[in-house]
Amino acid sequence: MASRPLPRPRPDAVRGRRACAGRGGCGGRTGGTYDPRIDILVLCTGNQCRSPMGEVLLRDRLARVGVDAEVRSAGLVSEGAPASPNGVKVMAKRGLDLSAHRSQKLTPDAVAHADLVLGMAREHVREAVVLDPASLAKTFTMRELARRAERTGPRRPGPDGGLEPMADWLARVGAGRRAADLLGTSTDDDVADPIGLSKRTYERTAQEIEDLVTTIVRHAFPVPAGRP
């Protein structure tokens, strides 16, 4: 599936998601899916390598477990550029199509529109929080969210038989985080940028992102007992 352009959010849609989170009753499973539709934004620098791969890998994994999700990606510096050729190749190997992808530049509206923002590096999280300071609680690097999710555990069952609201789980996962933690130049939570490197390097990057996606989805959307 090709990468999709970022939406122009409707004010009523944004208000609806915020009201839903405030009521605390929007985390349950409806129909054949886990949650009301969730919007996820994946970030990297150019939106040509890491974040397009993360976008299609995450969209595919969520679809496989029955999550109704809108997954998009953006970058900090470029707009209208295609996905890198090696990125297209390593995704095609997994049956995923990046050939129609064109880079999108990150905007404040895109951050505000998302229910979860995933950066490939700390600088991407930092930029998202600069654009929308209220987004810190829902914005993580993929490595950080995967690590914290394994420590915290999966989303809990909700009172209606579904799952606790996503915002509540993210609050537990992110307990103790501060905006100041985003400062500095540590790369401990970064997925390295493969731009301009070999196909083998892209494959390693794709495998790392795929593993992180698996961990995140397993904790954010645990399979209920009795579900195949």
Q: pLDDT-based confidence at 21, cuts 50/70/90?
A: very low
Give the pLDDT confidence score for residue 137 in this predicted structure: 96
Per-residue H/E/C for 118-161: EECCHHHHHHHHHHCHHHHHHEEEHHHHHHHHHHHCCCCECCCC
Report yes or no on whether pTM surpasses 0.85.
no
Give the pLDDT confidence score for residue 135 in this predicted structure: 96
Give the pLDDT confidence score for residue 29 in this predicted structure: 39
Q: What is the mean pLDDT of the chain?
A: 85
214: which 2 tokens?
A: 């698996």
pLDDT at 130 over 60: yes
Q: pLDDT-based confidence at 180, cuts 50/70/90?
A: confident
Angle of helix 50-64 relative to helix 199-220, nearest 10 degrees?
40
Amino acid at 188: D
d(CA 110, CA 142): 18
Q: Which fold has domain 33-220?
A: Rossmann fold (3.40.50)
Task: Please name the residue that has the structure tokens 């600088």.
Answer: 123
Among 67, 71, 58, residue whose Cα is nearest residue 28: 67
Domain boundaries, the chain: 33-220
d(CA 227, CA 3): 30
pLDDT at 216 over 50: yes
Q: What is the mean pLDDT of residues 88-106?
A: 97
Could you tell me the CA-to-CA distances from 195 to 13, 42, 49, 100, 121 in Å, in that order? 36, 17, 7, 18, 14
Give the pLDDT confidence score for residue 33 in this predicted structure: 45
Task: Please name the residue that has the structure tokens 């352009």.
Answer: 5
